Amino acid sequence: MKRVLLALLMTMVTALFSHAASAVIDISSREAKVLLDRNKAVYLLDVRTAQEYGDGKLAGSVLIPIAELERRVAEVPKNKTILVYCAVGGRSPFAASFLKKRGIQNVYNMTDGIVGWSRNGFPVQR
């Protein structure tokens, strides 16, 4: 009985850690600002529409609307840290999860989007 419980416990721990390693990392816009200040090589992926992007964007970001992401996924570098954002955090988690499933390892989702970024007083390129 003890061996069965120990085996079950080990299986659960292994599953927990393998899921954690494959999960998208959710961060706020404040945390994203720190990440970007520390790592200038982060690939900023904006998954909003072209019209939204034209209204304002994060400097250095690349627009791939979520509706086009599956077709254009090869444009996203696999060897860089990726920070995905949208307007308020509704679309970006889906895009970030999609990228993880496509084998991109370091994927961050900005949970409050460019609206949260702007509310914190961080720069938006117009």
- Domain with residue 49: its CATH number is 3.40.250.10
Q: Helix, strand, or coil here: 56?
A: coil
**Is 55 part of any domain?**
yes
Which domain does 71 fall in, by range?
A: 24-119
Q: What predicted TM-score, i.e. pTM, was given to this entire model?
A: 0.84
**Is 85 part of any domain?**
yes
10-residue mean pLDDT series, the chain (126 residues): 42 41 90 98 99 98 99 98 99 98 97 99 98
**Is 51 part of any domain?**
yes
pLDDT at 22: 67
**Is 2 part of any domain?**
no
pLDDT at 125: 98
Q: For the chain, how many structural domains are there in total?
A: 1
Q: Helix, strand, or coil here: 83?
A: strand
**Is 12 part of any domain?**
no
Radius of gyration in angstroms for the set of CA atoms belonging to the chain, rounded to a whole number? 17
Q: Helix, strand, or coil here: 33?
A: helix
pLDDT at 66: 98
**Is 59 part of any domain?**
yes
**Is 88 part of any domain?**
yes
